[in-house]
């Protein structure tokens, strides 16, 4: 039992600026994060559309953009990856939904540090502005990929965009790291200190567990990336040599560095980069668990196993980074160790999948749109997850590393699965956030096109990768065996155009429903967790002056003998429900 800590009780603000711009209210901040991520995902998606068109029609002239040059293609992919990973996958599931619903789900009036929370959002906002600014400086955005491997990222002369554009790119990431550290501290403290009476750790919804574990991962990972980013900035601007060895010559010019190690950057980057994958997907796992239980009208299968699985994923996530470096020149012996650890992380991931299936099994499944997206999440998680054990084996990494197989793998699992988590979260919590329901029919159309379209884009990437199609090629005209694979690329581009077009349905649904959707009741899904016990939308202090007392676990559905098929966490204690 946690002692409810003292929150800096702040009165509901009156002025527009304090209420909506520099707000201390976690709900407003959550919505701010959500819209920041929405803006970012639209930019990132537009970049991917340009990339897909260029890959298939390399000389096509695009309206307002002109012809895309090879180096422009690389800046598109760099910015696409960076924006999607940092400003979408890290921002919406954790900082967006987490901010809004973590305090409510544990029965707290706000986050532990409201001012820090506001600071964290606005710092993230600045990071986004700096990132976008990279497009508009001389030389444009960098072309070194979202992983920014040195020396390419460390030497301004190594390519167009590696000048000021690259400096802005690194600066933006460093600012983002600082913001994420603030957010992580806030989340951890809030979970540990602000749970309502009766809300034991093992009564927390799995979403809260996911946000909590993600925050711990963020706290341990972003600090390392921040340090790496600062070292890289120093290499570029102050003449240090952390990542650049001696004796290099770039386009005929001697490089005045010596003693650095390109592999050091990779170790630091992936020490952050691999946990980052779980930072992106864990909140989605939490959301999927919440939906599957709610809409199957059945307790989650193996709650404890789900918690332990997430904890072990978090732990193992820190000791597998070397699997990104099997071909890097790292010791082949350590590759062996990283490989075993990586296979081991497949075990808790498999447990989660089994338990999701076990939750649906013998349930009574309702097909509201949040559930559709959650089912889509499970399907994508399985598909994206099962290509993992290929890439985890160093010997299979020889043909597959840096091919489209990898691109297909991570897009399915950390890209689209995580985004399905966000779709599910949006459809599920929209009524609570905006007081209105989203359109079910638009939601269904969007779901079916997006799920089919996603597979049509990313499944063929596995075939291409097998055939040796390398990633990050701006065109496939120079290597003979790759020219034969262009028809598959063309199919993927068609699928991408349709799927990206279908996202307009989601955007229209979002904004239309915000103003025109039917009014939502306080508990439209007949769900059990605390956010459904309060008003819609929740008052400034979340529970209107009282603090909830928790008597039950988070997923008590269809309790035998109960009057209705859901027992809310605040319902009086009974002998039957947990």
Kindly tell me which of 180 and 383 has the beta carbon lying closer to other proteins: 383
Q: From the list 39, 164, 263, 549, which residue makes contact with other proteins (rule: CB under 8 A)?
A: 263
* Burial zone of 221 (CB within 10 Å; 0-12 exposed, 13-18 middle, 19+ buried): buried
Instruction: Tell me the window of 27-35, 205-213, 224-232, 362-370 that interacts with other proteins (CB under 8 A).
Output: 362-370
User: Quick one: which segment of 92-100, 133-141, 521-529, 559-567 binds other proteins (CB under 8 A)?
Assistant: 559-567
Contact set for other proteins, span 405-464 (CB under 8 A): 444, 448, 451-452, 455, 459-460, 462-464
Angle between the N-to-C axes of helices 303-316 and 332-360, in degrees from 0 to 180, rounded to the nearest 10: 160
389 binds other proteins (CB under 8 A): yes
Q: Which is nearer to other proteins, 175 or 550 (CB)?
A: 550
For residue 225, what are the contacts with CB-CB under 8 A and spacing of at least 6?
A: 173, 177, 268, 269, 272, 273
Under the binding rule (CB under 8 A), the answer on residue 573 touching other proteins is no
Burial profile 127-141: b = 16 or more Cβ within 10 angstroms, e = fewer: bbebbbbbbeeebbb
Residue length of the chain: 578
φ, ψ of residue 259 in degrees (nearest 5): 95, -5
Going by C-alpha positions, the residue among 148, 165, 168 that lies closest to residue 272 is 148
Q: Counting contacts by CB under 8 A, is residue 494 touching other proteins?
A: no
With respect to other proteins, which residue has the nearer C-beta, 24 or 255? Answer: 255
- Residues 124-163: x/- map of binding to other proteins (CB under 8 A)? -------------------xxx---x-xx--x--xxx---
Q: Between 362 and 546, whose beta carbon lies closer to other proteins?
A: 362
Query: Taking the complex as a whole, how short is the minimal distance between the CB of residue 558 and other proteins, in angstroms?
Result: 4
**Among the listed residues 361, 504, 521, 544, the single contact to other proteins using CB under 8 A:** 361
To the nearest whole angstrom, how small is the minimum distance from the Cβ of residue 176 to other proteins? 22
Q: Measured from the CB of residue 350, what is the shortest distance to other proteins in angstroms?
A: 4
- Count, residues near other proteins per rule CB under 8 A: 119
Nearer to other proteins by Cβ, of 40 and 307: the residue is 307
The first and second tokens of residue 231, run together, are: 């070292």
Task: Select the span of 10-18, 398-406, 491-499, 508-516 touching other proteins (CB under 8 A).
Answer: 398-406
Q: Residue 54, interface with other proteins (CB under 8 A)?
A: no
Q: Which of 220, 315, 479, 549 binds other proteins (CB under 8 A)?
A: 479
Torsion sign over Cα 34, 90, 305, 220 = negative
| Contact with other proteins (CB under 8 A) among 83, 104, 335, 418 | 335
Q: Cβ(244)–Cβ(260) under 8 Å?
A: yes
Out of 344, 442, 486, 549, the residue judged to bind other proteins by CB under 8 A: 344
The smaller minimum CB distance to other proteins, of residues 219 and 350, is found at 350
The yes or no reply on residue 499 touching other proteins (CB under 8 A) is no
Smallest separation, CB 442 to other proteins (Å): 15
Answer yes or no whether residue 336 interacts with other proteins by CB under 8 A.
Answer: yes
262 interacts with other proteins by CB under 8 A: yes
- Residue number with CB closer to other proteins (115 or 258): 258
- The alpha carbon of 460 is separated from its chain's Cα centroid by a whole number of angstroms, namely 23
In the complex, minimum distance from the CB of residue 127 to other proteins, in angstroms, rounded to a whole number: 23
Which residue is it, tokens 């089912």? 375
Among 39, 488, 497, 500, binds other proteins (CB under 8 A): 488
Binding-site member from 357, 504, 507, 535 for other proteins (CB under 8 A): 357
**DSSP-derived secondary structure for 508-546:** HHHHHHHHHSPBP-S-TT---SGGGTS-SSPPTTSSTT-
Closer of 73 and 87 to other proteins (Cβ)? 73
What single string gives the DSSP state of each residue in 228-253? HHHHHHHHHHT---SS--SS-EETTE
User: What separation in angstroms does the CA of 558 have from each of 106, 222, 333, 561, 576?
Assistant: 22, 42, 52, 9, 11
CB of 565 to other proteins, least distance (A): 7
Owner of token pair 């063309």: 490
User: Residue 245 in contact with residue 258, Cβ under 8 Å?
Assistant: yes
**Minimum distance between the CB of residue 362 and other proteins, rounded to whole angstroms?**
4
3-state secondary structure 463-505: HHHHCCCECCCCCCCCCHHHHCCHHHHHHHHHHHHHHHHHHHH
Among 175, 392, 413, 457, binds other proteins (CB under 8 A): 392
Q: Closest Cα partner for 118 from 179, 175, 178?
A: 179
Residue 476 sits in the site that holds other proteins (CB under 8 A): yes
- Classify residue 303 by burial, with Cβ atoms within 10 Å: 0-12, 13-18, 19+: buried
The H or E element containing residue 571 is none
Q: For residue 117, which of 177, 207, 3, 27 has the smallest C-alpha distance?
A: 27
Instruction: Specify the residue, 109 or 142, whose C-beta has the smaller distance to other proteins.
Output: 142
Only one of the segments 128-136, 165-173, 188-196, 352-360 lies at the binding site for other proteins (rule: CB under 8 A); that segment is 352-360
Residues 56-95 that bind other proteins (CB under 8 A): 69-71, 74
Rounded to an integer, what distance in angstroms lies between the CA atom of residue 286 and that of residue 207?
4
| Residue 234 vs 264, nearer CB to other proteins | 264
Q: Give the residue from 532, 521, 524, 435 showing the smallest Cα distance to 104.
A: 532
Within 201-260, the residues that bind other proteins by CB under 8 A are 244-252, 254-255, 260
Indicate whether 387 belongs to the interface with other proteins (CB under 8 A). yes
């Amino acid at each position: 039992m946690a002692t409810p800590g003292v929150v800096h009780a702040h009165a509901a603000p009156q002025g527009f600026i304090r209420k909506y711009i520099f707000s201390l209210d976690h709900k407003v901040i959550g919505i701010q994060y959500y819209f920041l991520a929405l803006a970012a995902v639209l930019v990132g998606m537009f970049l991917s559309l340009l990339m897909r068109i260029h890959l298939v029609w390399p000389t096509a002239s695009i309206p307002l953009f002109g012809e895309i040059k090879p180096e422009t293609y690389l800046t598109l992919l760099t910015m696409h990856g960076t924006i999607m990973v940092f400003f979408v996958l890290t921002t919406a599931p954790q900082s967006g939904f987490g901010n809004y619903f973590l305090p409510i789900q544990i029965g707290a009036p706000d986050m532990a540090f409201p001012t820090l929370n506001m600071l964290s959002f606005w710092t993230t906002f600045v990071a986004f502005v700096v990132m976008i600014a990279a497009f508009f400086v001389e030389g444009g955005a960098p072309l070194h990929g979202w992983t920014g491997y040195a020396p390419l990222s460390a030497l301004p002369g190594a390519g167009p965009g590696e000048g000021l554009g690259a400096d802005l790119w690194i600066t933006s990431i460093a600012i983002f790291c600082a913001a994420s550290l603030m957010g992580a501290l806030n989340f951890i403290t809030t979970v540990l200190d602000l749970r309502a009476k009766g809300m034991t750790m093992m009564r927390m919804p799995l979403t809260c567990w996911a946000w909590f574990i993600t925050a711990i991962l963020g706290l341990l990972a972003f600090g390392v990336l921040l340090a790496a980013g600062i070292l890289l900035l120093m290499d570029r601007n102050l003449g240090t040599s952390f990542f650049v060895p001696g004796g290099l010559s770039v386009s005929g010019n001697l490089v005045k560095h010596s003693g650095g190690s390109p592999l050091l950057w990779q170790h630091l980057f992936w020490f952050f980069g691999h946990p980052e994958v779980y930072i992106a997907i864990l909140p989605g796992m939490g959301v999927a668990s919440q939906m599957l239980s709610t809409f199957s009208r059945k307790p989650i299968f193996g709650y404890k196993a789900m918690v332990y699985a997430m904890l072990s994923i978090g732990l193992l996530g820190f000791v597998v980074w070397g699997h990104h470096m099997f071909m890097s020149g790292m010791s082949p012996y350590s590759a062996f160790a990283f490989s075993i650890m990586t296979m081991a992380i497949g075990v808790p991931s498999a447990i989660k999948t089994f338990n999701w299936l076990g939750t649906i099994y013998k349930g009574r499944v309702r097909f509201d749109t949040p559930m559709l997206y959650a089912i889509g999440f499970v399907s994508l998680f399985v598909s994206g997850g099962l290509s993992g054990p290929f890439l985890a084996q160093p010997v299979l990494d020889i043909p597959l590393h840096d091919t489209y197989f990898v691109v297909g793998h991570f897009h399915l699992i950390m890209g689209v699965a995580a985004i399905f988590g966000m779709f599910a979260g949006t459809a599920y919590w929209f009524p609570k956030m905006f007081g209105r329901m989203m359109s079910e029919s638009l939601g269904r159309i969007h779901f079916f096109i997006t799920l089919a379209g996603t597979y049509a884009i990313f499944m063929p990437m596995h075939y291409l990768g097998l055939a040796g199609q390398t990633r990050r090629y701006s065109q496939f005209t120079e290597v003979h065996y790759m020219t034969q694979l262009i028809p598959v690329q063309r199919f993927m581009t068609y699928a991408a155009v349709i799927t990206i077009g279908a996202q307009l349905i989601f955007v229209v649904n979002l904004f239309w429903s915000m103003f025109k959707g039917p009014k939502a009741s306080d508990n439209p899904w007949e769900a059990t967790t605390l956010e459904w016990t309060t008003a819609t939308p929740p008052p400034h202090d979340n529970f209107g002056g009282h603090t909830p007392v928790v008597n039950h676990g988070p997923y008590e559905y269809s309790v035998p003998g109960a009057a209705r098929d859901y027992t809310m966490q605040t319902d009086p204690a009974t002998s039957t429900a947990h």
